[in-house]
């Protein structure tokens, strides 16, 4: 049997996290869906802080898919090198831009099916774009969401996809996007990977990790 909190308890947990993090939102800087798509591709295995430093210059120079495809992989790579894995990211971004021009009239598509046909765009990236650019309820499971959700008991799964399914089952649809941001804020500020700050955590009364690993 899966070890998870009840839906009533999960609702209380989210309410407590909203009290702690009332301003929880996307921390990538963007002004439109295309910028968000590029920023999210760059954010793979890179901090949002570093991505924002890179895009603060990048987005002033490159504003449309047409702008990007004028560059070679090497030229784009030099601009995004600080985000890591720049060769792969450069290739994926340029191929994505070509597909946006050829198949989507240079517009970012607004469905999971179409987004995940783009190079470098998996379910996590697609969910980020759907949620933040198109206001579509979605739960993007990144490393923070995966760790925190399973640690607390909002999910009980060994992989990202099953964790996403658990969260979608356990959280009301209209709260999916907000829950995503709350779990990321909690993971970055309190429920850290190596040493969670349980002494200042507002949800220890409900957290399986705290009860099993800390309280005893």
Active site residue 25: no
Q: What are the tokens at 215?
A: 């309280």
Q: How far is CA 39 from the centre of its chain?
A: 11
Residues 119-122: contacts with CB under 8 Å, at least 24 apart? 119/91, 119/92, 119/95, 120/41, 120/44, 120/88, 120/89, 120/92, 120/93, 120/95, 120/96, 121/37, 121/41, 121/96
Is 124 one of the annotated active-site residues of the chain?
yes
List 89, 142, 166, 178, catalytic entry: 142
46 is in an annotated binding site: no
Active-site hit among 48, 87, 124, 211: 124
**DSSP E strand boundaries for the chain:** none
191 is in an annotated binding site: yes
Compute and round to an integer the Cα radius of gyration of the chain.
18
- Residues annotated within a binding site: 191, 198, 201, 207
Active site residues: 124, 142
- Residues annotated within a binding site for [4Fe-4S] cluster: 191, 198, 201, 207
């Amino acid at each position: 049997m899966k070890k998870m909190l009840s839906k009533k308890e999960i609702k209380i947990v989210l309410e407590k996290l909203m009290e702690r993090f009332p301003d929880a939102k996307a921390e990538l800087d963007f002004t439109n869906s295309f910028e968000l798509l590029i920023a999210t591709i760059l954010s793979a295995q890179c901090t949002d802080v570093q991505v924002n430093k890179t895009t603060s210059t990048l987005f002033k120079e490159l504003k449309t898919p047409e702008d990007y495809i004028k560059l070679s992989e090497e030229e784009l790579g030099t601009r995004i090198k600080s985000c890591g894995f720049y060769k792969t990211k450069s290739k994926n971004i340029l191929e994505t831009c070509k597909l946006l021009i050829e198949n989507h009239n240079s517009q970012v598509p607004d469905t999971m099916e179409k987004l995940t046909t783009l190079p470098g765009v998996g379910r996590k990236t697609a969910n980020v774009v759907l949620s933040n650019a198109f206001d579509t309820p979605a739960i993007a499971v990144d490393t923070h969401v995966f760790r925190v959700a399973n640690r607390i008991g909002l999910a009980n799964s060994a992989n990202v996809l099953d964790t996403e399914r658990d969260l979608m089952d356990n959280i009301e649809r209209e709260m999916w996007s907000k829950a995503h941001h709350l779990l990321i804020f909690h993971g970055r500020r309190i429920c850290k990977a190596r040493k969670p700050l349980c002494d200042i955590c507002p949800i220890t009364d409900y957290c399986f990790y705290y009860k099993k690993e800390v309280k005893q």
